A and B are shown apart, each in its own frame.
Chain A
C-alpha cells in the first residue's frame, strides 16, 4: 500500500516537473532534469532492476543519447533517447530478454496507464451510515438545483434590476477567472495532465503480463518437437507447401521431399544470383567511371531499392526452409551448403549495393536517404550473419529477432552521436567544385547548419543566379511555420530569413532549453549578423 501511495505521488510529482520544465520550451538541459527524476523513480520503485545487466547496458546507451540531446539536439538523438528510455522501462518493470517483447509490454503500459492510475484512487470505504447520508444529500440537492437554475434564468430575463446585479457579479467572477487562467491556463492544465500521463506510462507497470508469458517459453536453441499430422496440417506454412507439392508434402517421405525441393530452389537461386554478382563485379567493382554520364541515376537509385528488397526476401527464403524439422534432418548437408552459398552471395550483393551508394554520394553528394542506405546495409550484414548462425548452430527465429533488435538499438545509439545535418552540409559544400550544389535541399537542413550556409553565402548567390537564369518565372513569397520566405530560388534571402527567425525563436526560450548546438549557432550568428 505504501509503495502504491509513493508510486502515485511520484507520478503526480513527475507530471508537475514535466509541466514546469517543458512548457513552451524545447528539449535541452530540461531533459536531463526530467530524465534524472524518472530514472531515480524507476530504480526506487523497481529495485530489482538495479541488478539487471540488460538494464545497466541500456542505461549506458540511454545516457549517451541524453548527452547527445544536450550536445547535438538532433531529431535522431531525441528518437534514440525516447527509445532507450522506453526499453529501460520495459526491462526494469518486467522480466524480458528480447527488446521486441519488452517493447510490447511498454505498449501495454501506455494503453493501461489510466487504469493503473485509477487503481490508486479506490473510493475510501466510508461507513454505511455516512455514505447513505452523503448520497441522500446529493440526491435531494439535484432537483432543487435544476429548478433553481431554470428560475434564475427566467427572473434574469424578466427583471432588469436582478439582471444588473447578476451581471455585476458575473463581471467580478469573470475578472477573477481571467486572473486565475492567466496563471493556470487551460492549455497549461492540459499540459500538466499530459505530463502526468507520460510519467504514469513510464512509472506504472500494467497488470497484464501478456508479453512476459509469451516470452517465458521461448529459447535461443531450437528443440526438436514431434507434431501430429493434424497439427501440421493446420499450419499456414504447411498449406503453402501442400499447394505447391501436392501429395509429396504428406506421408513418410515428406521431409525428404521438402529437402529435395529446398536443394533445387537454392541451387537455381544461387545460379541466378551468381550471374548478377558476376555482372556487378565486372561492371561496378573495378574502374567504374561514376563521373561519366552513364545511366547512373537509374542504376543506382532504382537498383538499390530493388536489391535491398531482394536481400530481405533472400533471408525469408532461407528462414522458410529452415523453419522446422529440416534443421534436424540427417541428409540436409546440401541444403545447408546451398543456404551458406546463398548467404555468402547476398553478402557480395550487399557490397555491390554499398558501391552503388558510394558512387552516388561521390557524384551527387550526401543526403539522408543515401546515409540511410549505409545503415540499412550494415543491418542487413548483421541479419545475414545471424541467419548463418541460426542454420549453423540450430537457433530459433526468436534468437534471430532478439539479436537483430539489439544490433538495431546499438546502431541507433551510435547514429545519434553524429550531427548528420552538419556532416551533410559541410561535405556537400566542401565538394561543391565536384558535386552540384543542391541549394534547395541544403536550406531544408536544421538550424545548426546556418553558420555554415552563411559562411558560404557567395556560393549560394552564384547558384541562385544560375538557377534563376534558367527559369522563366520566379515564384513569389511563400509561408512556412508562420515565416515569410522570399521565393523558392532566392537562396541568399532565405538564409537571411531563417537566421532572423531562428534568433527570434531563441529569444523566447529560457535556460531550460539550453543545448550546446544552439548555443554555438546563436553565438556564431550574433557575431556575424545578416542585414
Chain B
C-alpha cells in the first residue's frame, strides 16, 4: 500500500510540474494564455499519463527490493522513467509525423520539460521514499572493492 501511495505522489507531482512547465514554456514562446490553461493541461495530463502511474508503481516496487540506498534507488528510477518518457514522446511523434525520433523542437521541449518534472517530483518525494526504503529494503551489502 505504501508503494502505491509513494508512486501516486511521484506521479501526481510529475504531472503538476509538467503542466506548470508547459505553461511557462508556452509563455516563453509568446503564448501567454498557455499559463491560464495549466489546470486543463493538468487534467489532460492525468488522463494521458495514467499508464505512467502503473510504470511508476512497478519501478518503485522493484527499486525497493534492491540493496541500494534511497539516493541510489531514486537515481535509478529517475533514469528509467526518463527513458520511458523519451520513448513515449518518440511514439507520439511516430503516430503524428511517422518518424520514431525526437527530431523537432516541440518534441524535444516536451520531452525535456516532462523529464525535468519527473526529476523534480522524485527529488521532492525522496524523503517519503527513503522512509519506505528503510523499512522494506534488504540489508545493504558491502561493495567488494580493494
Determine if B75 and A3 form an interchain contact, defined as CB atoms under 8 angstroms apart: no
Would you call B27 an interface residue if the criterion is a C-beta within 8 Å of the partner chain's C-beta atoms? yes
Determine if A46 and B68 form an interchain contact, defined as CB atoms under 8 angstroms apart: no
User: Which residues of A sit under 8 angstroms from B146, Cβ to Cβ?
Assistant: 3, 44-47
Would you call A359 an interface residue if the criterion is a C-beta within 8 Å of the partner chain's C-beta atoms? no
Would you call B52 an interface residue if the criterion is a C-beta within 8 Å of the partner chain's C-beta atoms? no
Would you call B145 an interface residue if the criterion is a C-beta within 8 Å of the partner chain's C-beta atoms? yes
| B19 CB, min distance to chain A CBs, angstroms | 12
User: Which residues of A sit under 8 angstroms from B141, Cβ to Cβ?
Assistant: 207, 209
Determine if A208 and B67 form an interchain contact, defined as CB atoms under 8 angstroms apart: yes
Determine if B76 and A115 form an interchain contact, defined as CB atoms under 8 angstroms apart: yes
Which of A122, A207, A208 has the most chain B CB within a 10 Å cutoff? A207
Q: How far is the CA of A114 from the CA of B122 in the complex (A)?
A: 15
Given contacts A45-B145, A45-B146, whether A153 and B35 have CB atoms under 8 Å apart is yes
Determine if A153 and B68 form an interchain contact, defined as CB atoms under 8 angstroms apart: no
Determine if B72 and A119 form an interchain contact, defined as CB atoms under 8 angstroms apart: yes
B interface residues, how many (CB within 8 angstroms): 25
Q: How far is the CA of A153 from the CA of B26 in the complex (A)?
A: 10
Determine if B75 and A118 form an interchain contact, defined as CB atoms under 8 angstroms apart: yes
Q: How far is the CA of A44 from the CA of B146 in the complex (A)?
A: 8
Determine if A208 and B66 form an interchain contact, defined as CB atoms under 8 angstroms apart: yes
Interface set, chain B 89-142, CB cutoff 8 A to A? 140-141
Q: How far is the CA of A47 from the CA of B146 in the complex (A)?
A: 6
Determine if B67 and A114 form an interchain contact, defined as CB atoms under 8 angstroms apart: no
Given contacts A45-B146, A123-B71, whether A112 and B35 have CB atoms under 8 Å apart is no
A interface residues, how many (CB within 8 angstroms): 30
Nearest opposing residue in chain B for A94, CB measure: B144
Determine if B27 and A114 form an interchain contact, defined as CB atoms under 8 angstroms apart: no
Given contacts A115-B73, A150-B35, whether A205 and B143 have CB atoms under 8 Å apart is yes
Q: How far is the CA of A7 from the CA of B143 in the complex (A)?
A: 11
User: Which residues of B sit under 8 angstroms from A156, Cβ to Cβ?
Assistant: 32
| B131 CB, min distance to chain A CBs, angstroms | 14
Nearest opposing residue in chain B for A7, CB measure: B145
| A91 CB, min distance to chain B CBs, angstroms | 13
Q: How far is the CA of A93 from the CA of B69 in the complex (A)?
A: 20
User: Which residues of B sit under 8 angstroms from A4, Cβ to Cβ?
Assistant: 143
| A2 CB, min distance to chain B CBs, angstroms | 9
Determine if B76 and A153 form an interchain contact, defined as CB atoms under 8 angstroms apart: no
| B142 CB, min distance to chain A CBs, angstroms | 9
Determine if A112 and B76 form an interchain contact, defined as CB atoms under 8 angstroms apart: yes
| A47 CB, min distance to chain B CBs, angstroms | 5
User: Which residues of B sit under 8 angstroms from A114, Cβ to Cβ?
Assistant: 72, 75-76, 78-80
Q: How far is the CA of A343 from the CA of B114 in the complex (A)?
A: 60
Determine if B24 and A118 form an interchain contact, defined as CB atoms under 8 angstroms apart: no
Interface set, chain A 193-211, CB cutoff 8 A to B? 205, 207-209
User: Which residues of A sit under 8 angstroms from B143, Cβ to Cβ?
Assistant: 4, 205, 207
User: Which residues of A sit under 8 angstroms from B10, Cβ to Cβ?
Assistant: none
Given contacts A149-B27, A150-B35, whether A205 and B144 have CB atoms under 8 Å apart is yes
Residues of A within 8 A of B (CB): 3-4, 7, 44-47, 93-94, 112, 114-119, 121-123, 146, 149-150, 153-154, 156-157, 205, 207-209
Q: A119-B71, A122-B69 are in contact. List 18 more A-B contacts (CB 8 A).
A: A3-B146, A46-B146, A112-B68, A112-B76, A114-B72, A114-B79, A115-B68, A115-B73, A116-B68, A118-B69, A118-B73, A118-B76, A149-B35, A153-B27, A156-B32, A205-B143, A207-B68, A209-B141
